[in-house]
Copies of this chain bind each other. A is one copy, B any other.
């Protein structure tokens, strides 16, 4: 068998895998947006059947055989990247026994129920045994795949492939001191913000969301906007990437900024080179880079001092906004410190929330923290990082769904997204002529073209660190994010410049 024919067989086989994986995405989207409530039992059976077919295809012994016939020296950059991704897929499928994956899936489903109940009853002890079982299962999972120093390396790699735990730790920990200091200064100022609370009809909020999505370049002939309890962007192919949002009738910010966040994700997916569809490269490179796109459009652009002028005008047209001038609006959408919940927190505290979870779950897996001490550790670390103790456990250690599903290693990708978005925005700002002026006039087209050229189109050809280094000219660090947050919030809160 020649290397060429082995490569062809490999990619054809993986094409089947990726085609069926997209079917799972559509079924998930349907479940969250369209499916009638009594469809839930049979939908679970459909998804589980598809997962079975996918596992069978991924463990097809021929894949290993074909991989062994490849001659690396004859492959192009893109072909090498494909092989890297296939090897990764095949390795994971072979090294982790199907029975362990089933156990994890079962525990996740059970754990979700237990967590909901524990949160409702505000009792961490109810959830602790399920959490312990899940941590043990994921330790076993990490063992199957192998690691150098910490089992957490493996967990992180599921969401942020190609990045080392050391580099990610350095980036995240680089935020610790400067953000605690910045938050302290902000708290020293008791600034009164204008309130955006009011009555905003659903149809108007959705019409605004559609306007803004179109303005940002989201292509509705390759997507659609629907309602969902927890907004998300469907996976899919560039021709079919769907976004969802939610509506709070008292505050239009929720719908507006959730939509922009999802538009950021969708612009990335819609921009991946269509030639890569149904190949291992036709996907976002990592959750961190994915999140960088949603956060860049949500924060740097739409909560920034330029594009928010266009947004303000739109909101004024739709909702009036009373006698709140643009300055009041800008400050209101950037208020710091209103929430004890990660998902509702501002740009400054958000990353401290993530740091808290990252440090705790890393310690858990490195056996520097015992299960019975988690609640206490959560509370004291919240005090240390954010300056308060959670008012109750449902707003503390039980606030997030991730651990119940075994998604350890997911949290750091949120902050990586913020770090990357600051890096990318700084690079774009340098390379695009008068970006601020363009954004002030509501023109995001050149920025989108820049991201398409530098990030979106490549899919998974480069790993996340390779991609970021190519675009920014240096290995990414937390410094641009720190500088960005210091400058922005010093201006808003009238702090002495850092």
Contact = CB atoms under 8 A, between A and B. Distances in A.
Nearest to A277: B42
A188 interface: no
A219 B36 CA distance: 10
Nearest to A224: B36
Contacts of A22: 42, 46
Contacts of A240: 35-36, 38-39, 42-43
Interface stretch (A23-31, A195-203, A209-217): A23-31
Interface string A1-34: 0000000000000001001101100110010001
B222 A38 contact: yes
A223 to B, nearest CB: 5
B224 A41 contact: no
Interface in A29-86: 30, 34-43, 45-46, 49-50, 52-53
A279 to B, nearest CB: 12
Nearest to A25: B46
A221 interface: yes
Residue from A27, A37, A45, A50 having most chain B Cβ neighbours under 10 A:
A45
A53 to B, nearest CB: 6
A461 B220 CA distance: 46
Contacts of A222: 36, 38-39
A405 interface: no
A202 B49 CA distance: 40
A242 interface: yes
Contact of A239 (B36, B223, B236, B239): B36
A308 interface: no
A278 interface: yes
Interface string A237-259: 11110100000000000000000
A240 B30 CA distance: 12
A19 B49 CA distance: 7
A238 B39 CA distance: 8
A45 B242 contact: no
A339 to B, nearest CB: 34
B278 A36 contact: no
Contacts of A45: 19, 278
B35 A27 contact: no
A219 B37 CA distance: 11
Contact of A221 (B37, B223, B278): B37
A129 B459 CA distance: 44
A287 to B, nearest CB: 23
A253 to B, nearest CB: 27
A219 B39 CA distance: 12
A52 B53 CA distance: 12
Contacts of A38: 219, 221-222, 238-240
A221 B36 contact: yes
A314 to B, nearest CB: 24
A16 B46 CA distance: 9
A45 B23 CA distance: 10
A53 B20 contact: yes
Contacts of A239: 36, 38-42
18 contacts: A19-B46, A20-B46, A22-B46, A23-B23, A26-B26, A26-B30, A35-B240, A36-B223, A37-B221, A38-B219, A38-B222, A38-B240, A40-B239, A42-B236, A42-B237, A42-B239, A43-B240, A45-B278
Given A19-B49, A22-B42, A35-B240, 5 more contacts: A34-B34, A38-B239, A40-B239, A42-B240, A42-B277
